[in-house]
Amino acid sequence: MPQAATVPMMSLPSSSPISLPVLSPSGRSNGPQAIGESERTRIADDLRALGMKDVRFAKSDRMLYSTEASIYQVDPIGVVVLDRPRDAVTVVRYCAEKKLPVLPRGGGTSLNGQTVNVAVVLDFSAHCRGIIAIDAEAKRCHVEPGVVLDQLNDALKSKRLMFAPDPNTGGHNNIGGMIGNNSAGAHSILYGRTSEHVLGLDVVFADGSTHRLDEGSCERDPAQRAIARAMADIALPLRDEIRARFPKIVRHVDGYNLDLFLEQLDRSTPGTFDRVNLATYVCGSEGTLATILEAELNLVAAPSKTGLAIVGFDSVDASLDALATMLSTTPAAVELVDDTIIDLARKNTEYARYVELMPQPTSGRALGAVMYVEYFGFAADGSDIRAKFGELKSKLPHAPIQCHLDPSAMKNAWTLRRACEPLLHGLPGARKPIGFVEDTAVAPERLPGFIREFKAILANHGTFAAFFAHASVGCLHIRPLLSLKSDTDREDMKAISTEIADLVVRHGGALSGEHGMGRSRTHLAERYFGAPLVDAMRRIAAVWDPDGRMNPGTKIRWTDPNTMVESLRVKPAATVLGIDGSNVYFDYEKEHGFGSAVEMCNGAGLCRRLTAGTMCPSYQVLRDERHSTRGRGNHLRLAITGQFSDDGKSPRWDDPDVYETLRLCLSCKACKSECPSNVDIAKLKAEYQAQRYRTTGVPLQARAFGAVRTLNRMGSLVHPIANALSRFPPFRWLQEKTLGLDRRRSMPPFGRSALRWMASRESTSSIAPDNAQVRAPAVVLFADCFATFSEPHVAHAAVETLEAFGYRVVMPDLGCCGRAQISMGDLERAKLTCAGTANALLAAVERERAVAVVALEPSCLSALKDDWQELKMDVGRSALVRLRDMSFLVEEFLDRRWDAHPKRPSFLAPTEDVVLHGHCHQKALWGSDSSAALLRRALGERITVLSTGCCGMAGSFGFTTDRFDLSMQIGEQSVFPAVRAAADATVCAPGTSCRHQILDGTARHALHPIEIVRRLLS
């Protein structure tokens, strides 16, 4: 392991000193006005001169780090995205010289304001993700602070080891952040908090000196020995006070770990600090003591099997009354989910299906709450877990219990449990679930009484809360519904927090069981610990950081209760000015208005996951906050709420930085379903662009891409010439120069129009249609631009298959679905295009008395079923809803009506394996099974649905010179490797862009599902 203490001192740039008063005498931050833009520029230049490559001090860049998962927003001084942990030493030394505050940051998933401050932010999350060494035998590892928990546990899987603390944000939080917050998760009943698993830390102190902190290092390092000495001098006289005031429960992260320091002192050889480990004291310090460069962690054996019993109750009270019984079965976790969350999950596209994993109430009443009771097992056949299920059932004979051993069912159930907090943000109304008393903890046996009193306090203030999370250790998440825009509610917030602090003290509990103090709780420290202990903690913090420059104010210094209601992300007076419901292009009723649509992101950061789902393809490759859904949502919110405008009020539609942030959004719609708050960036992006185009006009490239149907029609008319031309290098050069179409991208070939094929088929039929044919139910085939003019064989297969099932197929020239214009933000034209096509489609449906509209291309169908429903266009809502409800992908239609088809041809025995890659819009809106179900009927076991994300093409996204490379990198994330791995299988993809991308990325020709079904028809 490299020795941090050997990092050489750098020579500082020669610019004049920057005098930034960090804290006012009251200990409050001076706020963003304390530093001007010119000083920021000077600091940024200095840092660049010191070799920092990614320095973000411009307002729109740094503001992406002004929020986290909390309610706060604070403009930082600037941000350094670190290339490697060691760069932090350079920055911290520079800040020490210039007396600048410093704030280390990981995934930014904190809930109390501890990662936002007027400071130079050090972002470890982008590049400091190295797993340096794993010693499986000694059960230890060394990691960089930006390593994501799930990333580490994936690397440990083959060694049957794991890092035990498991906060809900394991897919995107960082080890540095877990240490900073002393995180713990569902299994803390077995494993405790992060502080129980940190063996050593390499850190840089506020003065720029580097140290290795571990047990025994105080004896080696004079600086650490001096700190330990000073801490002992302050803490020992307060020994009794510390023992009396610190709670005796698993979960508590209030203040600093003085209780653990005392224990280490007690274990040390008299006159030495040989058992003191200052790393333990850094755990939970919320970035206020030292910056972590590397961590040595303890690992535990991973269970070979897990089992999950979900127990249903009529009410939260009933579930808590049964808690002791559940705990008596020695579970690994007991987690509560209440009815508010269950109802919200039922209304969410992604989570509704996971509710089915819960038990059905036997009483006939609705589920009032469920408890997730998890067991770890070590028997290969799972018999020990089954025995536990039996024990639980016998002890709770009247409760409905659903037991799961299937890994994918359990994964889905836990996905729902993890989404509890973000799901709450979907509650309608001005009042939102606000996190400021949300992780109080008491001994589990006190929970029923504690919760009753908690509810009474909320009721006194005219509100209520949802209840969920870690019942096993008495740490429930409770978010009262309040409106941050209301003066009265903000006053209530302060009063509730004080009353709850007193309640916690009465029950011997913790103010914070896992989320820390941040901005919302620091002022309560004296009320909770008493003045002498807080004074001791302040004096100790000053030993580590004499100027109070590390995350200033946080944790122990702020005393004013107003801190908790200041620097809010939602501004009390914030309105979206200059724009109202009448001049936006989309309807925002579902989001409760345009203003709340732009404020829907809660910052929890699920969109920064790297290992699951599609959201967010560009972030998964670039790992840049700016290109996460959260970054895009933040930029849009800041621009639209006037925070990037000169007057600070009017929305700014022409911000080049916001445009740049949106440029790499693929409009894949993954966020619309995967984001628990259903933040719909594709829609907001189109709206933002459209508002911008009101003044700038629509650029040539956007207009050309939006005219895809006309261009494809022209190409099809002269397809031999057009195809030759698109392979002709000078022509490709010209296309690149004028339209930005990258020369490396192959062009989709044109073919003879499927409309002409259909017309000639009808006119050359020598046999007049018989009565049966005339009477056959009609379906309208929505002939999209690609199946019509580029891939007519797909349309042919659809027509022939539908006819084989006994349908009369009508394929009129209806026009374009408007997908390309919507994605380009050319909404003025899209309104006309979509209305024209919708009217033509409605007329065709009426004329033919069609039983359904069937489509081939998921992105066209998503326009009809999703975008058309919200775009304000001149077609009646009920007609659009009717179209939505009768429209399907062709393969989905054939599967859904399986028992009602006029004819049902049999399939040939399959001779091939097929792998299916679903389209992003399909996955987001109606699931890959819409294609897979029919294929399963035809192919049986020989169809595999690939677990792939976005292919990276996304319509015209992957065609342009500025996005081609990213497009191919996104393909390499999951689609290309999965296709390559299925070397002997036929590749199937319903999306035309996906098929094109698969061809360019793997040289494999993918088929539309209906082509596969067609060739299996006997």
Ligand X SMILES: Cc1cc2nc3c(=O)[nH]c(=O)nc-3n(C[C@H](O)[C@H](O)[C@H](O)COP(=O)(O)OP(=O)(O)OC[C@H]3O[C@@H](n4cnc5c(N)ncnc54)[C@H](O)[C@@H]3O)c2cc1C
CA distance 958 to 949: 15
Residue 633 interacting entry, from ligand X, ligand SF4, none, C-beta within 5 to 8 Å by type = ligand SF4
Tell me how many residues contact ligand SF4 (CB under 6 A): 28
Binders of ligand SF4 in range 410-429 (CB under 6 A): 422
Options 85-93, 483-491, 602-610, 833-841: segment touching ligand SF4 (CB under 6 A): 602-610
**Could you give the 3-state DSSP secondary structure of residue 923?**
helix
Encoded one letter per residue, x for contact with ligand X by CB under 6 A and - for no contact, window 511-530 reads ---xx---------------
**Are 606 and 676 within 8 A, CB to CB?**
yes
Question: Considering the rule CB under 6 A, would residue 669 count as an interface residue with ligand SF4?
Answer: yes
Q: Which helix (H) or strand (E) holds 305?
A: strand 305-313
Interface pick for ligand X out of 145, 552, 740, 1009 (rule CB under 6 A): 145
Interface pick for ligand SF4 out of 617, 706, 748, 1001 (rule CB under 6 A): 617
Q: Which helix (H) or strand (E) holds 286?
A: none
Binders of ligand SF4 in range 639-668 (CB under 6 A): 665-668
Question: Considering the rule CB under 6 A, would residue 98 count as an interface residue with ligand X?
Answer: no
Amino acid at 543: V
Residue 516 Cβ, how far from ligand X at the closest point, in Å? 7
Q: End-to-end alpha-carbon separation of the chain, Å? A: 66
Cβ-based nearer residue to ligand X, 307 or 516: 516
**Could you give the 3-state DSSP secondary structure of residue 214?**
strand
Residue 128 Cβ, how far from ligand SF4 at the closest point, in Å? 21
Question: Considering the rule CB under 6 A, would residue 108 count as an interface residue with ligand X?
Answer: yes
Question: How many Å separate Cα 32 from the centre of its chain?
Answer: 28
Question: Considering the rule CB under 6 A, would residue 601 count as an interface residue with ligand SF4?
Answer: yes
Cβ-based nearer residue to ligand SF4, 601 or 822: 601
Interface pick for ligand SF4 out of 200, 595, 633, 651 (rule CB under 6 A): 633
Residue 486 Cβ, how far from ligand X at the closest point, in Å? 24
Interface pick for ligand X out of 292, 399, 536, 598 (rule CB under 6 A): 292
Q: Report which of 387, 466, 156, 465 is spatially closest to residue 166, judged by C-alpha positions.
A: 156
Question: Considering the rule CB under 6 A, would residue 616 count as an interface residue with ligand SF4?
Answer: yes
CA distance 811 to 76: 58
Options 92-100, 107-115, 557-565, 862-870: segment touching ligand X (CB under 6 A): 107-115
CA distance 369 to 347: 17
Binders of ligand X in range 51-90 (CB under 6 A): 68-69
**Could you give the 3-state DSSP secondary structure of residue 678?**
coil
Cβ-based nearer residue to ligand SF4, 188 or 629: 629
Residue 744: other Cβ atoms inside 10 A: 12
Residue 137: other Cβ atoms inside 10 A: 7
Question: Considering the rule CB under 6 A, would residue 426 count as an interface residue with ligand X?
Answer: no
Question: Considering the rule CB under 6 A, would residue 105 count as an interface residue with ligand X?
Answer: yes
CA distance 789 to 784: 8
Q: Report which of 460, 417, 483, 363 is spatially closest to residue 166, judged by C-alpha positions.
A: 417
Cβ-based nearer residue to ligand SF4, 62 or 672: 672
Question: Considering the rule CB under 6 A, would residue 127 count as an interface residue with ligand X?
Answer: no
Interface pick for ligand SF4 out of 482, 679, 809, 864 (rule CB under 6 A): 679
Residue 630 interacting entry, from ligand SF4, ligand X, none, C-beta within 5 to 8 Å by type = ligand SF4
Question: Considering the rule CB under 6 A, would residue 195 count as an interface residue with ligand X?
Answer: no
Cβ-based nearer residue to ligand SF4, 310 or 675: 675
Interface pick for ligand SF4 out of 125, 618, 661, 823 (rule CB under 6 A): 618
Q: Which DSSP string corresponds to 584-619?
A: -SB--TTTTSHHHHTT------GGG-SSSSSS-HHH
Interface pick for ligand X out of 254, 286, 674, 866 (rule CB under 6 A): 286
Interface pick for ligand SF4 out of 474, 605, 858, 990 (rule CB under 6 A): 605
CA distance 187 to 166: 7
Cβ-based nearer residue to ligand X, 476 or 666: 476
The secondary structure of 197-210, three-state, reads HEEEEEEEECCCCE
Residue 110 Cβ, how far from ligand SF4 at the closest point, in Å? 13
**Could you give the 3-state DSSP secondary structure of residue 402?**
strand
Token pair 């998964």: residue: 620
CA distance 541 to 558: 13
**Buried/exposed code over 428-437 (b: 16+ C-beta within 10 A; e: otherwise):** eeebbbbbbb
**Are 132 and 1 within 8 A, CB to CB?**
yes
CA distance 629 to 618: 9
Question: Considering the rule CB under 6 A, would residue 169 count as an interface residue with ligand SF4?
Answer: no
Question: Considering the rule CB under 6 A, would residue 606 count as an interface residue with ligand SF4?
Answer: yes
The DSSP secondary-structure symbol of 863 reads I
Token pair 């606000």: residue: 434
Encoded one letter per residue, x for contact with ligand SF4 by CB under 6 A and - for no contact, window 275-304 reads ------------------------------
Residue 146 Cβ, how far from ligand X at the closest point, in Å? 8
List the structure tokens of 768: 């007049």
Phi/psi for 296 (5° steps) reads -105, 125
- Note the residues at the interface with ligand X (CB under 6 A): 68-69, 103-111, 114-115, 124, 145, 167-169, 173-174, 176-178, 180-181, 183-185, 286-287, 291-292, 421-422, 514-515, 551, 604
- Note the residues at the interface with ligand SF4 (CB under 6 A): 422, 601-607, 615-618, 629-630, 632-633, 665-671, 675, 677, 679, 681-682
